[in-house]
Copies of this chain bind each other. A is one copy, B any other.
Amino acid sequence: MRADPLICKLEQFTKKFSDSEKRLIEDAISDIVDYAPRQDIISQGDRPEHVHLLLEGWAGRYKLLPEGERQIMAYLIPGDLCDVHVALLRQMDHSIGALSACKVAFIPDKAITKMTDDHGRLSKALWWSTLVDEAISREWLVTVARRQADKRVSHLFCEMLLRSKAVGLSTDNSFELPLTQEELGDTMGLSGVHMNRTLQKLRSDGLITSQGKRLVINDLARLMEFADFDPMYLHQISAGAKSG
């Protein structure tokens, strides 16, 4: 089903959903829209009328600074909801843009409200996912503030591998990374040039391999060790264990 990654993700928090619950989510989708890379899915100041569920591709939360630099504050991958709870805030304080080609499902606000009013379990699961988003944001803060470039990038790769696994996008130790080095830099607070040199170092140290847009982590345990990566903040049930 189209909502599989979302369900997959939420099932990390709660017990397996029943078929009828799955259908409930699935049927809430009112529309599906494609976005090209660099296109905004939601813009700062918007007050979206429906919730956006990412089905395919990568998107990013970002802000622009006065000198024109872009800071990406979060990655969204399939199964991630862009704005479950904007209704509580008045408007978006940042934008969400497609990083690769994206397929996005629209779920009307009312459908979400109805779903969560009737299903405490689902409501909790959605809130759980935003609490995890918050935990991720805090960890990125630590990463950017305190870790050196090579560990910064390694830490990010560990996270994205685990998150990809959690939604069924990775079974081995590799995943699609549809980003330019510039975009990676905009995420970790590094220049494109330095990101390039950092990736070269990680490759020559044998920690990663890249095949086109696919990133291969040669030895996850070693990379996690190197990056001081503790998966606890992801609050995955199997945290620490390797799924697959």
CB within 8 Å of B: which residues of A?
13, 47, 61, 63, 65-66, 69, 71, 73-74, 85, 88-91, 93-94, 124, 127-128, 130-135, 137-142, 144-147, 188-189, 228, 232-233, 235, 241, 243-244
Contacts and interface: CB of A to CB of B under 8 A. Distances in A.
B142 A140 contact: no
B74 A138 contact: yes
Contacts of A233: 93-94
Contacts of A244: 47, 90-91
Contacts of A188: 145
A146 B137 CA distance: 15
6 contacts: A71-B145, A73-B141, A89-B131, A94-B138, A144-B189, A145-B189
A219 to B, nearest CB: 19
A233 to B, nearest CB: 4
A182 to B, nearest CB: 14
A131 B88 contact: yes
A228 B131 contact: no
A174 to B, nearest CB: 26
A241 B90 contact: yes
A52 to B, nearest CB: 16
Contacts of A131: 85, 88-89, 130
